A = this chain, B = another copy of it.
Amino acid sequence: MTDKRQQLIETAFALFYRYGTHAVGINEILKQSGIAKKTLYTHFDSKASLVEAVLHYRDERFVNWLDQRMQDSEPGKAGILAMFDALDDWFNDRVETLAKFNGCFFINTCGEYAEAEALPHQLCCQHKSRVRDLIEAQVKSLGEVKEPEWLVDILALLKEGAIVTAQVQGDKQAAIKARRLAEQMLTAQEVSQK
């Protein structure tokens, strides 16, 4: 029962992530998952609510993965740099949990629902806030920082830049380049602290 629902979400995610939500029809999802149309409509009101569920699913999966990777290192500088290492693994398809890299699902979806009022757009925004919270927690562990808010924003901005560069330009080294700058900033931070 809930098994079918999950299966639908996962199949839909794989297709949406590859081809975009508008480009993929319900029938394609049904064909690939081998699930009947009736079953889909018992679990979801409409395609829009399936899209919504897929966004929730990916959000949880992605944030959990990233959080785990950051928790594996010491809080603070190491944790932040671990984020960029995690991104590097993602870009180069060394993470089984996430699908083959195709950019950020939320940035892509946001492009399809560009109006700020659209629900998918808002869900994407919420996802980015959750990721920002992970960074913020690490920055707080750094100790006294001149302008912590700005540092958090810049680190998040670097992350977004790396993702887009890796996808559009196909530059799989983007995370490493961003990591280097982050390291410089954090080192400068340490020095000025002493």
Contact = CB atoms under 8 A, between A and B. Distances in A.
A20 B161 contact: no
Given A111-B111, A112-B23, A115-B18, A106 B157 contact: no
Contacts of A163: 164
A34 interface: no
Contacts of A114: 17-20, 102-103, 108, 167
Contacts of A168: 106-107, 110, 121, 124-125, 128, 160
A33 B33 CA distance: 41
Dominant secondary structure of chain A at its interface with chain B: helix
Interface stretch (A5-13, A41-49, A169-177): A169-177
Integer count of this chain's copies in the complex? 2
A165 B169 contact: no
Interface string A73-107: 00000000000000000000000000000110011
Interface stretch (A55-63, A64-72, A135-143, A148-156): A148-156
B159 A128 contact: no
Nearest to A115: B18
A162 interface: yes
Contact of A125 (B110, B111, B156, B169): B169
Interface of A: 17-20, 22-23, 102-103, 106-116, 121, 124-125, 128-129, 150, 153-154, 156-165, 167-171, 174, 177-178, 180-181, 185
Given A20-B112, A150-B177, 11 more contacts: A22-B112, A23-B112, A107-B164, A110-B168, A111-B111, A114-B167, A153-B165, A157-B178, A161-B161, A161-B162, A163-B164
